[in-house]
Amino acid sequence: MKQSLQLKMGQSLTMTPQLQQAIRLLQLSTLDLQQEIQAALDSNPMLEVAEDGSEARSSLAEMDFQDTQADTHIPNDLGGANTLNSPEESRVRESADSRTDSEWNDVIPTDLAVDTSWDDIYQSAAPGTGLSRPDGEDSDFESRRGTSESLQDHLAWQLNLTPMSPRDFAIAEAVIDAVGANGMLVQSVDDIWGGLQRELPELELDEVVAVLHRVQQFDPLGVAAQNLSECLIIQLRQLPEGTPGWETAYDIVDEYIDALAQRDFKLLMRKLKVKEDELQTAINLIQSLNPRPGESIGEDTTEYVVPDVFVTKENNRWLVNLNPEIAPRLRINSDYASLVKRADSSSDNTFLRDNLQEARWFLKSLQSRNETLLKVATCIVERQQGFLDFGPEAMKPMVLHDVAEMVEMHESTISRVTTQKFMHTPQGIFELKYFFSSHVSTEGGGECSSTAIRAIIKKLIAAENSRKPLSDSKITEILEEQGIQVARRTIAKYRESLNIAPSNERKRLV
């Protein structure tokens, strides 16, 4: 074949660095966005935080380096005498230099009393130096915010305080290693005994059992139990004498724990020969115990949500505003930007020019993110005003395609902007994806949101008779009477998503 050159014209979509940055910022959560902004501030000298009350010294329109003056001088040594300093920084430096040594007490006493305080000997550092602690700040903040100890560490600490022989100490360490995260043993006593026979010759099984009983007296109560029944029995034995319902509760936990799990109250009353009120007292006592004692020890996994959007109602109109606290106000440093020379190809000028362009792109991407988030949130509020006024039962069905058509964007963009973004409403704080749900048909030809059906199911179960709880089939019949056509298996799926137990497990005596 003969080789030849051909020219073709065509159009194709390309992901420019600016577009990639805008898409990446769009899908970041609030915490990730703050980290991204901090990283940009640390790496780009052209960006700075605009302090509250100060006028913005630059804008995207004013920072076109082609319009800057050509005779601007770039200092050779940015850390020397030519460094630009504001009047406030000069006054702070002069004030620090003029401080006399008499204001500081540098004499270290040789002997101090046991109850001597640091502040009694040394003066506090000046505010803003980072050496003093503000008034009212908790001194134990860092230790409380640090990583908490694990369950094994908590048990090992108690083991070190317990007088034991070296042989029993080694057995106790093996028992503690076999304790799971919920506080139960993940290995049987025989497995623990078999694993210790190599290290401890002539070890008897009774020795392991005896040490196990000793470890079971550690905090939290019920730890190192072999099963649920033993865990509850250990906790019951620690209760004071004369506790109402103790004997009945002990018999239930020891012999009839399966019947209690199946809510077979008639069988329990017949086997234990007790009346209904006595059985209820014993059940209340059992419910006050902790079936997973190990979960009370460990790291705190509480996560706090910072809303991205606030929704308020003023003059019978719903208003949508972005949270101004989620990200600092950024601007371009006019001092550094004015150093950019128009026709200079030196390394310093190229460095400033590139950072100025990156700063512009970053600010534009942030502005685009905020505008898109506000536009999508406003669209959601306009469509879900019934939810804001009356609650989840008035939620309308809505999918990503509906919002994409209203804001004239692609569905992938709507998916990114609604992921890990939260809205503060009078009904509570919800993720933006919460407002999207499928629909089921009604007898009148309309549509009902799956979120509204979940709210109705939750309301029906909350008002049910605890002696005769509503089954999934009964809930289906009630919804059909209201004109909502939904299958029984769908009701079961919605109920499980709400973490609601089946009807046989919701049965109560009263």
Residue 179 and residue 264 in one domain: yes
The secondary structure of residue 365, as a DSSP letter, is H
For 473-490, what is the mean pLDDT? 89
Residue 275 and residue 225 in one domain: yes
Residue 419 and residue 343 in one domain: yes
Looking at per-residue confidence, does 306 or 90 come out higher?
306
Length of the chain: 510
Residue 367 and residue 379 in one domain: yes
Residue 336 and residue 362 in one domain: yes
- Taking the C-alpha atoms of residue 481 and residue 13, their distance in angstroms, rounded to an integer, is 53
40 residue type, one letter: A
Residue 272 and residue 165 in one domain: yes
Token readout for 304 is: 């706090």
- Taking the C-alpha atoms of residue 12 and residue 134, their distance in angstroms, rounded to an integer, is 58
130 is a domain residue:
no
Q: pTM (2 decimals)?
A: 0.63
Each residue of 108-158: pLDDT tens digit? 455 555 555 555 555 544 444 444 444 444 444 444 444 567 899 999 999
Each residue of 332-384: pLDDT tens digit? 998 888 888 877 888 888 999 999 999 999 999 999 999 999 999 999 999 99
For 238-244, what is the mean pLDDT? 90
Each residue of 188-227: pLDDT tens digit? 999 999 999 888 888 999 999 999 999 999 999 999 999 9
For residue 329, pLDDT beyond 70: yes
Q: What is the pLDDT of residue 133?
A: 46
Q: What is the pLDDT of residue 447?
A: 77
- Taking the C-alpha atoms of residue 479 and residue 459, their distance in angstroms, rounded to an integer, is 12
Q: What is the pLDDT of residue 113?
A: 57
73 is a domain residue:
no
Domain boundary among 385, 411, 435: 435
Q: What is the pLDDT of residue 286?
A: 94
Q: What is the pLDDT of residue 229?
A: 95
- Taking the C-alpha atoms of residue 151 and residue 456, their distance in angstroms, rounded to an integer, is 41
For residue 485, give the CATH number of its domain.
Answer: 1.10.10.60
Strand intervals (E) in 97-163: none
Domain boundary among 390, 420, 435: 435
Q: What is the pLDDT of residue 147?
A: 53
Each residue of 442-457: pLDDT tens digit? 766 677 888 889 999 9
The secondary structure of residue 105, as a DSSP letter, is -
Residue 225 and residue 333 in one domain: no
142 half-sphere exposure, CB direction, 13 A CA radius: 2
Q: What angle do CA 381, 386, 392 make, to 5 degrees?
A: 100
Q: What is the pLDDT of residue 301?
A: 61
296's torsion region: left (phi>0), alpha (psi -120 to 50) or beta? Answer: alpha
Q: What is the pLDDT of residue 242?
A: 87
Q: What is the pLDDT of residue 273?
A: 92
Residue 501 and residue 430 in one domain: no
For 89-107, what is the mean pLDDT? 44
236 is a domain residue:
yes
- Taking the C-alpha atoms of residue 260 and residue 358, their distance in angstroms, rounded to an integer, is 66
- Taking the C-alpha atoms of residue 497 and residue 495, their distance in angstroms, rounded to an integer, is 5
Q: What is the pLDDT of residue 115?
A: 53
- Taking the C-alpha atoms of residue 48 and residue 147, their distance in angstroms, rounded to an integer, is 33
Q: What is the pLDDT of residue 510?
A: 59
468 is a domain residue:
yes
Q: Which residue has the tokens 């179960």?
A: 461
For 96-112, what is the mean pLDDT? 47
- Taking the C-alpha atoms of residue 478 and residue 480, their distance in angstroms, rounded to an integer, is 5
Q: What is the pLDDT of residue 139?
A: 46
The 3 state secondary structure assigned to 277-325 is HHHHHHHHHHHCCCCCHHHHCCCCCCCCCCCCEEEEEECCEEEEEECCC
Each residue of 388-439: pLDDT tens digit? 999 998 899 999 999 999 999 999 999 999 998 999 999 999 999 999 988 7
pLDDT-based confidence at residue 93 (cuts at 50, 70, 90): very low
Residue 465 and residue 359 in one domain: no
The 3 state secondary structure assigned to 276-289 is HHHHHHHHHHHHCC
Q: What is the pLDDT of residue 125?
A: 44
Specify the 3-state DSSP secondary structure of 465: strand
227 is a domain residue:
yes
Do the strands 309-314 and 422-425 form a parallel or antiparallel pair, or are they unpaired?
Answer: parallel
| Distances 110 to 107, 175, 229, 303, 362 between C-alpha atoms, Å | 9, 50, 62, 48, 57
Query: What's phi and psi for 442, nearest 5 deg?
Result: -120, 165
Q: What is the pLDDT of residue 389?
A: 92
Q: Are 437 and 449 in contact (CB under 8 A)?
A: yes
452 residue type, one letter: A
Q: What is the CA radius of gyration of the chain?
A: 34
43 is a domain residue:
no
Domain boundary among 269, 296, 323: 296
Residue 269 and residue 193 in one domain: yes
Residue 260 and residue 316 in one domain: no
Q: What is the pLDDT of residue 324?
A: 86
Q: What is the pLDDT of residue 101?
A: 43
The domain in which residue 336 lies consists of 309-435
Calculate the CA 5 to chain-centre distance. 59
Q: What is the pLDDT of residue 71?
A: 37
13 is a domain residue:
no
81 is a domain residue:
no
Which of 253, 248, 235 minimizes the C-alpha distance to 278? 248
Residue 464 and residue 327 in one domain: no
Kindly report the average pLDDT of the chain as a whole number: 81
Number of domains the chain is built from: 3
The secondary structure of residue 19, as a DSSP letter, is H
Each residue of 34-88: pLDDT tens digit? 899 999 999 999 999 987 644 444 444 333 433 433 333 333 333 333 333 444 4
Q: Hey, which residues does 310 pair with through a beta bridge?
A: 321, 424
